[in-house]
């Protein structure tokens, strides 16, 4: 299966590297931003172009949600299979005369950080049933975890990921803002962050909750509010504590 | 150094096990709740009592903040060193004729989950300088990371820990609430959660932020708000996004 990758961002980067790694290098990587494109093409040892799209069996569109439609219009081959890689766009956002699909790898991608694609769940959707076989086979060569997921399901997967990843990272950033303000090494908190994650393997996170809010420790909550340094930190602190309290409050039948 | 542990909660449990593991078993574990106490005493192979406190060099008070004072009053030996283990109480919450200290292990403790105490930072404070040597030596036998920290510093350590651990765990719980509602296995999100943590080793979490809020993706933010299922989830979602936006907004000089 000849694959062309469209895009020059984090997803394009990691997908291009992963395909080369499993000895199924992309036929080409195509995008408008030559600088980033060239770097990926070199790293993955594949050709690139900013103006001439090669003919391929599968086009993987790895661009931001708002650019998917424009990128999808570059492809005019009716025999092609075209997949975007977004968790929050319907398959129908692809506009062209070809067979449509979605190939959604669930991970947070940063160019600077290598990834083991094998552990990344890939969620597939195909307009035509006949395309599942080839797309699944490619996905299974890349990852140990391949499932089908339509747009409805993808939306919830993405939403869950925002809580478990984007929001968690933001709390790490706010935590570091506080520890930095006191010249405390953020490394002190690493075993705690690791254990917090590790615990979820053994305990439902709802059962594993610790801290002042879940034990209704008003004194500590007030003490923390008094030393928080910005209104934004304080609002975040209060809303998270409220949400913890709500989760453990006895529910009416 | 003869050590008596006071308490029968998670900290008492893990500290008792850790002392036994380094072949410096506690002389006794003492508390009012016999059931939990007995279980810890058996696991750590040490004697326990609910009514007669043994004479010791060091008493480690491992009880909730609100019980520290009452527990500290059980000790009447003027030759003892008495330390509580709380991040959010001053040393002066100990009431008795002895030398006071604080021995604060920074970790989230659950009885059901084994811990490697070696990696847990321990923060010490002593009323008298002469006590640092013995307390540091005990702490260093338990952990590779021992530092001194007064009440002011401990408060900020604890506050940072609430963001990096308690709040993060709550986001895991809210994420699981959403994935459960769609019968999505929470295991799909594990590689993402691991990578989110792993990334902080290579990138400042502020630089590593991904997701709709940091890229100002109004369409996805609205899409998520529309499918969130409870007012509490929605409020949490909005506040976290606001806080992300605030962190990356250009600041006025």
Q: Which CATH homologous superfamily contains domain A154-248?
A: ProC-like, C-terminal domain (1.10.1040.20)
- Asked if pLDDT for residue B213 goes beyond 70, the answer is yes
Q: What is the CATH number of domain B155-248?
A: 1.10.1040.20
Which of A107, A142, A149 minimizes the C-alpha distance to A126? A149
- The pLDDT of residue A109: 78
- pTM of structure: 0.93
Contacts of B58 (CB under 8 A, 6+ apart): B1, B2, B3, B4, B80, B81, B82, B83, B134, B135, B138
Shortest Cα distance, chain A CAs vs residue B55, angstroms: 32
In chain A, what residues touch B88 (CB-CB under 8 Å)? Answer: 212, 219-220, 223
- The pLDDT of residue B113: 74
- ipTM above 0.90? yes
Q: Are A3 and A60 a contacting pair, CB within 8 Å?
A: yes
Q: Kindly report the number of other CB atoms within 10 A of residue B51's CB atom.
A: 7
Can you give the residue ranges of every domain in chain A?
3-149, 154-248
Distances (CA, A) of A223 to A33, A80, B156: 50, 62, 10
A196 touches chain B (CB under 8 A): yes
- The pLDDT of residue B137: 97
The answer to whether the CB atoms of B88 and A220 lie below 8 A apart is yes
- Asked if pLDDT for residue B253 goes beyond 70, the answer is no
CA dist., res. A13 & res. A9, Å (int) = 6
Shortest Cα distance, chain A CAs vs residue B225, angstroms: 9
Which of B178, B197, B88, B230 minimizes the C-alpha distance to A205? B178
Give the closest of B186, B200, B223 to A155, CB-based.
B223
In chain A, what residues touch B196 (CB-CB under 8 Å)? Answer: 108, 164-165, 168-169, 172
Q: Are B177 and A205 a contacting pair, CB within 8 Å?
A: no
Q: Render each residue's pLDDT in chain A as its tens digit; 253 residues.
A: 999 999 999 999 999 999 999 999 999 999 998 999 999 999 999 999 999 999 999 999 999 999 999 999 999 999 999 999 999 999 999 999 999 999 999 988 777 777 889 999 999 999 999 999 999 999 999 999 999 999 999 999 999 999 999 999 999 999 999 999 999 999 999 999 999 999 999 899 999 999 999 999 999 999 999 999 999 999 999 999 999 999 999 877 5
Give the closest of B121, B204, B228 to A188, CB-based.
B121
Which of B191, B242, B184, B173 minimizes the C-alpha distance to A156? B184
Distances (CA, A) of B80 to B2, B57, B67, B99: 10, 5, 19, 6
Tell which phi-psi region holds residue B211, choosing left (phi > 0), alpha (psi between -120 and 50) or beta.
left
Interface of B with A in 3-42 (CB under 8 A): none
CATH topology of domain B3-149: Rossmann fold (3.40.50)
The beta strand positions in chain A, using DSSP E, are: 3-6, 28-30, 48-49, 58-61, 81-84, 99-105, 122-126, 146-148
CA dist., res. B216 & res. B241, Å (int) = 10
Counting every residue written for chain B, the total comes to 253
């Amino acid at each position: 299966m000849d694959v062309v990758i469209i895009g020059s961002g984090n997803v394009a980067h990691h997908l291009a590297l992963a395909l080369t790694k499993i000895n199924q290098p992309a036929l080409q990587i195509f995008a408008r931003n030559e600088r980033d494109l060239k770097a990926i093409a070199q790293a993955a040892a594949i050709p690139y172009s900013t103006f001439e799209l090669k003919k391929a069996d599968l086009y993987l569109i790895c661009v931001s949600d708002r650019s998917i439609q424009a990128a999808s219009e570059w492809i005019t081959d009716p025999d092609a299979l075209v997949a975007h890689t977004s968790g929050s766009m319907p398959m129908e956002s692809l506009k062209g005369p070809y067979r449509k699909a979605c190939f959604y790898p669930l991970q947070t991608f940063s160019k600077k950080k290598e990834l083991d694609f094998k552990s990344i769940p890939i969620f597939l959707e195909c307009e035509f049933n006949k395309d599942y076989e080839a797309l699944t086979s490619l996905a299974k060569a890349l990852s140990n975890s391949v499932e089908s997921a339509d747009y409805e399901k993808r939306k919830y997967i993405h939403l869950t990921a925002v809580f478990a990843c984007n929001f968690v990272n933001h709390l790490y950033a706010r935590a570091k803002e506080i520890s930095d303000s006191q010249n405390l090494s953020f490394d002190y908190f690493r075993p705690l962050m690791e254990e917090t994650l590790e615990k979820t393997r053994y305990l439902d996170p709802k059962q594993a909750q610790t801290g002042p809010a879940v034990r209704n420790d008003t004194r500590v909550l007030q003490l923390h509010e008094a030393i928080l340094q910005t209104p934004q930190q304080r609002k975040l602190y209060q809303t998270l504590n409220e949400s913890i309290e709500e989760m453990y409050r006895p529910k009416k039948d």
